[in-house]
Structure 1
Amino acid sequence: MAKKSYDWVAIKLEFVKSSLSTRDFAEAFDIPYSTFSKKVMREQWENERKQIGSKLEAKSVEKSIDNRADELAEFEATTLRAIRMAQADVIDKIASCKKAGEIKALSNALVELQKGYRLALGASTENQATGTATDFSQWLESIDNGELGTGRSSA
């Protein structure tokens, strides 16, 4: 009886890509198990399978990270557009305010919008370039007391 010939290159390629056990693979391709297992061990096909599996897993994680980064960037861009629109509305309303309390509420809204905007950009939510919250509170108090623009100070 003639010895059966196998396309070992094609078989190796299929084996390395598959997740079948050595025995199941040999049965599926109608190769005697002992012949196949010796070939797999001698040429270290299992090691190649593991390396490819590790590379595939790393590539999958990388793709997942890229997808999440794209989604986050899109979400942040949408958030920034919404904050810009809300900011424009608040600024328009400040111009028509007659009471200091309304101005104070809208100013607080602007501060919160600024924090959201800075957070979406990955910056600190504290604006270190401006005065302290105490300075801002004092300014609002001076508006409430009618002192702003009079040159008077309660200090």
Structure 2
Amino acid sequence: MKLKYIFMFLGVMLLGLTACGKKDTPEPSNKNPFAGTKWERVQKPTVEADISEIISYELQFIDDSRLVILTDAKDVAKDGSIIKQYPTLKEETTYTYEGLVATVITHEIENDKQITHKVSLTMDAAKQKITATSTEMKEGDKPEIFTRKK
């Protein structure tokens, strides 16, 4: 009888130890939801009746503050063959975040004046889409939607 209780006690202890794994502990709420993720958006405006231009954008959040934006463009014939492939544009910038909203502020010189661009990237609660809105958007402009790649 004692042996039965000893094995039952050891079984409960073993079950208790395996049930309390690292995955059960909640992650801190201040963890950056953007860091290490990749997002993409593909745009297919028609240039001519037989040629389409396909533009793809990829956002790569490297860490807590660095962001890489890759832009690919190509002209495609109606049958799907590539007519012209343009070089990939790579832009590196920084971002800040608060909760599920990242903010990217860039500056450029245009006509000897500094122009500031501010883009807000809002992640949905499911963390599968990002909506990009800009301070330069006009009324009626639709925000750009990026889907999660990684």
Q: Whose RCO is larger (CA < 8 A, sep 6+)?
A: 2
Q: Which has the higher strand share?
A: 2
Q: Answer yes or no: same fold by TM over 0.5.
A: no
With structure 2 as the length reference, what TM-score do the two structures score? 0.28
